[in-house]
Structure 1
Amino acid sequence: MIGYVTLGTADLTKSAAFYDALLGTIGAKRFMEEAGYFIAWSKGDNEPSIAVSVPFNQQPASVGNGTMVAVYLETPTQVKDFYNKALELGGTCEGKPGFRPDDSTSGFYAGYFRDIDGNKLNAFCMVQ
């Protein structure tokens, strides 16, 4: 259902380095960009993508209150690795990887973080 998500950035170069390294860990690569404006990553043709962009209206980038991008992964180990990589790259913790709620009955396993611009993301998987 979701085709792509775009996150605002105050520094396209720094944000590009963050997402090149982070999304590269799950096989996503740059597939579209416009110099000085935006960059988008995807795992393949016709797959959802994540982009970062300097705001079109030339106003300062800001994070949405209640806005979050969720990255689907296949295993808790992948979730932990992705979350840890985000923190290693300068992201900040918004909730360590674990089951939500704090038991395993839901099967929902996620780690929450903010990128270097303050955008909130999570990595999650469903455990059977």
Structure 2
Amino acid sequence: MFDHVKFGVSNYAESKAFFLKALTPLGVAVVGEGSPTYGVELSAKGTASLCLYEAAEKPAHLHLAFAAENRRQVEDFYRAALDAGGKDNGAPGLRPHYHANYYAAFVIGPDGHNIEVVCHTPEA
């Protein structure tokens, strides 16, 4: 649906480290980087990118949801995100109020953003 999402963060090094570690289970890696005010581009398999840059102003909180290929990736993301300093905002599990196979986990990132990874397919 989108090509890239770019938003400012208050601590570039901390946010870069958090997103890299938390999203590694999804195959996300650095695909380009400049100065902290220019930022870093993170992507998996050449698909849509997440771009972060250091900003002086405090950004509004976002809800970012990343697609997982399976439920294991959701669980791996959750553990990696907590290890990277994220705060629990919903452990991996089904959210049937969205739909029967909505399996997701939520963490709060360094700037207070709600980061979700979701798998929409039934368990294999």
What TM-score do you get using the length of structure 2 for normalisation?
A: 0.85
Q: Distance in 2 between matches of 1:120 and 1:5?
A: 15
- What letter corresponds to residue 26 of structure 1 in structure 2? L
Q: Is contact 2:24-2:77 (8 Å) kept? A: no
2:108 aligned partner: 114
Residue ranges of structure 2 left out of the alignment (5+ in a row): none
Q: Secondary structure at the match of 1:85?
A: helix
1:62 aligned partner: 59
Q: Distance in 2 between matches of 1:36 and 1:122?
A: 25
Deviation at 1:111, TM superposition (A): 0.5
Q: Is contact 1:30-1:39 (8 Å) kept? A: yes
- What letter corresponds to residue 98 of structure 1 in structure 2? G
Deviation at 1:102, TM superposition (A): 6.1
1:127 aligned partner: 121
- What letter corresponds to residue 63 of structure 1 in structure 2? A
Q: Distance in 1 between matches of 2:121 and 2:24?
A: 23
Q: Is contact 1:20-1:29 (8 Å) kept? A: yes
What TM-score do you get using the length of structure 1 for normalisation?
A: 0.83
Structure 1 stretches of 4+ with a deviation exceeding 4 A read none
- What letter corresponds to residue 24 of structure 1 in structure 2? T
Deviation at 1:125, TM superposition (A): 0.2
1:92 aligned partner: 87
Q: Is contact 2:91-2:105 (8 Å) kept? A: yes
Percent identity between the aligned chains? 26
Q: Is contact 2:25-2:73 (8 Å) kept? A: no
1:24-61, CA deviations, whole angstroms, 9 ceiling, x for partnerless residues? 3322211122212211101133x111121123xxx422
Query: How many pairs align?
Result: 121
1:60-90, CA deviations, whole angstroms, 9 ceiling, x for partnerless residues? 22333xx311110111111011011101110
Q: Secondary structure at the match of 2:90?
A: strand
RMSD: 1.9
- What letter corresponds to residue 108 of structure 2 in structure 1? R
Q: Secondary structure at the match of 1:25?
A: helix
Q: Distance in 1 between matches of 2:70 and 2:59?
A: 31
Residue ranges of structure 1 left out of the alignment (5+ in a row): none
Q: Secondary structure at the match of 1:96?
A: coil
Deviation at 1:119, TM superposition (A): 1.1
